[in-house]
Amino acid sequence: MKIKSFFTKENICFTIIQTAYWAGFCILFAYLSPYILSLGCSNTQLGVIISANSLASIIGQPVFGYICDRSGSIKKVMIGSLLGGSVLAAIFYLTGSSYLAILFFSTVISFIIQAVYPLIDNWTVLDAQVNPTTNYGITRGIASLGYAATSAIVGGFFDKHGFQWMFILFIAMMVIAALGCMGPKDTNNSVEKEKVKFTDLKLLATNYGYVAFVVVATLLYVAFRSAHGFLATLMTQVGGSTEQLGYAWSVLGLSEVPALFLAGIILRKMKDSHLLFVSMCFFVLRVLLPSFAVTPTQLIWMTALQGLSYGLFLPASVSFIARITKRELSSTAQTFAVAMYAGVGNTVAGVVGGVLVDSIGVVNVYRIAEIIIAVLAVVFGMVVVSLDKKEKAAQAAAE
């Protein structure tokens, strides 16, 4: 792809949407854990909030995805969600910082805001089918740069000026993202497609590849988030500060950029299902190595494996789902998958991880997670082999 061809209205707008959204997401959700811990809450209480937020996203993501498919508009739903989340954050800021207030408002905001990112991904991928110059990998990669820069800056900023700035900066980023949505065409309305009916959802339940991916990815996330969800606890254990935690989030975000930038090239040479398997193998190292960290610096650099794990997993999963599901179910399929692996995964991980960290220690949780993920990678590898055989058989029958 030539550099000139990237500077289209669609790419610029999607870059603004992605970057502002993920900067805001980092500002609020990445620092919610140290904020809660700074109030004197236990890891178990933190786990309850993480679980409540994840449960909210489980419900919100497929609901908003279905609304998009049913209404035929991604654009309107996204603008409403971003502005609605901003209003709630403003109320959150004005109501104080009690544990119950955090639990309630973070849950409601998660219901609305965490439904947005699979919609952004789906909107970009669908737009690319109409406009070949639209590049999901680069727009999402630039967003990861923004996430990394935000992490590096706001960690020290919150240390010096307080966590109350989370809400103000979050609102600003959501408003910018909503303004970015004004540019691209509403992809669902730019092509002819039938509006989905509720009964059409059974097509997803009978799709072997889709169901297998969702189940394996959900279990993988339970294991991964049970460990990684308590990165702040591990950082404190090795003697790190909130500022150093910010550096870890920054390295994590930066590591995604090369993988996302190269996603298009990789997927032209490698099947998306095969790339998913490779990413799962790197998830094994992603949780194994941090368990051996003894200094904040070591832990910070170990988060760089995010690029080879999640950085490959994200574009491969979006491509895989888009390829094996019907277009008119695209938003529902993408959001339901994310709701299951990121939502259900985080919910279970929040409760299980919090209890395990308090009982056996965060290091042991990381090492147990590594074993579980290794087994799941093998299982998905078997699924990929069976899918390849079915596709080859179908091609042979068609000839």
Q: How is 266-312 classified by DSSP, letter by letter?
A: HHHHS-HHHHHHHHHHHHHHHHHGGGG--SHHHHHHHGGGHHHHHHH
CA distance 212 to 379: 10
Give which of 191, 116, 140 is closest to 316, Cα–Cα: 140
Give which of 355, 347, 358 is closest to 56, Cα–Cα: 347
**Residue 92: per-residue pLDDT:** 81
Domain CATH number, residue 195: 1.20.1250.20
CA distance 131 to 137: 14
Range of 302's domain? 3-398
Neighbours of 13 (CB within 10 A): 21
State phi, psi for 240 to the nearest 5 degrees.
-85, 165
**Residue 192: per-residue pLDDT:** 46
Q: Residue-wise pLDDT tens for the chain (399 aa)? A: 555 566 778 888 999 999 999 999 988 887 887 777 777 777 777 778 877 887 787 888 888 888 887 777 888 899 999 999 999 988 887 876 677 888 888 899 989 998 888 888 888 878 877 777 887 878 888 887 887 788 778 877 877 877 778 888 999 999 999 999 998 888 654 444 455 555 556 777 788 889 999 999 999 999 998 888 888 888 888 888 877 887 887 788 788 888 888 887 888 889 999 999 999 999 999 999 998 988 989 999 988 898 899 889 988 998 898 888 877 777 788 888 888 887 778 778 877 888 888 889 888 989 999 999 999 999 999 999 998 888 888 777 766
CA angle 172, 53, 76 (to 5 degrees): 50
Residue 398: both structure tokens together: 């068609």
List CB contacts of 329: < 8 A, sequence separation 6 or more: 69, 196, 200, 201, 203, 204
How would you class 40 by CB atoms within 10 Å of its CB: exposed for 0-12, middle for 13-18, buried for 19 or more? exposed
Give which of 50, 51, 82 is closest to 64, Cα–Cα: 82
State phi, psi for 376 to the nearest 5 degrees.
-65, -35
CB 257 within 8 A of CB 307: yes
Residue 277: both structure tokens together: 């398997």
Would you mind telling me the total number of residues written for the chain in this entry?
399
Measure Cα distances from 333 to 222, 272, 286 in Å: 20, 16, 27
CB 373 within 8 A of CB 220: yes
What secondary structure letter does DSSP report for 86?
Answer: H
Residue 181: both structure tokens together: 């949505």
CA angle 276, 14, 71 (to 5 degrees): 85
CA distance 397 to 139: 39
**Residue 4: per-residue pLDDT:** 55
Give which of 137, 41, 58 is closest to 335, Cα–Cα: 58
CB 346 within 8 A of CB 49: no
Q: How is 7-63 classified by DSSP, letter by letter?
A: -SHHHHHHHHHHHHHHHHHIIIIITHHHHHHHTT--HHHHHHHHHHHHHHHHHHHHH
**Count of domains forming the chain:** 1
**Residue 141: per-residue pLDDT:** 83
Q: Give the three-state DSSP class for 241.
A: coil
**Residue 84: per-residue pLDDT:** 92
Measure Cα distances from 64 to 31, 72, 93, 117, 340 in Å: 25, 12, 25, 11, 14
